[in-house]
Amino acid sequence: MKHAHLGLLTACLLAGTLLACHAQRRLSDAELGLTPEQSEGRKIYDAYCDRCHEPYSTSDKQGPPLKGIFRKPYMAVSGLPANDERAGEIIRLGRSKMPGFGQTLSDRQISDLLAYLHTL
């Protein structure tokens, strides 16, 4: 552990920028305190959503970041209420450039996914 830390520190010093140090190590499910359901949701997120949505930073990818998606009353881009019903609809049906996942993911998978989104 100590060595890993020193390695990271050295890498950051070499890069000579705080930005490089900002790219933090991915936390494990246990470190995030995820329930089994949320942890399943995270796997689905990584497989289907991560390429377009940042979960832990506010930068844009192809889609808006989902960090804190349920911590405000309305979702930033669609302006729809930030709740399971509306977010679930977007996930099932898609929206603008986002494809729908209603054919790909089961109801159970979507509910696990929503449980994970609540932790962001």
Query: Which residues of this protein are in contact with ligand HEC, per CB under 6 A?
Result: 48-49, 51-53, 62-64, 66, 69, 75-78, 87, 90-91, 95-99, 101, 113
Residue 29 or 50: which CB sits closer to ligand HEC? 50
Residue 16 or 73: which CB sits closer to ligand HEC? 73
C-alpha–C-alpha distance, residues 89 and 77, integer Å? 14
C-alpha–C-alpha distance, residues 21 and 9, integer Å? 8
Q: What minimum distance in Å lies between the beta carbon of 39 and ligand HEC?
A: 15
Q: What share of the chain is helix, strand, coil (3-state, %, to 5)?
A: 50, 5, 50
C-alpha–C-alpha distance, residues 61 and 5, integer Å? 29
Q: What minimum distance in Å lies between the beta carbon of 81 and ligand HEC?
A: 10
Residue 75 or 115: which CB sits closer to ligand HEC? 75
Residue 40 or 101: which CB sits closer to ligand HEC? 101
In DSSP terms, 74 is beta-bridged to: 81
Q: What minimum distance in Å lies between the beta carbon of 30 and ligand HEC?
A: 22
Q: What minimum distance in Å lies between the beta carbon of 1 and ligand HEC?
A: 33
For residue 24, what is the DSSP state?
A: P
Q: Quick check: 112 and 44 in contact, CB under 8 A?
A: yes
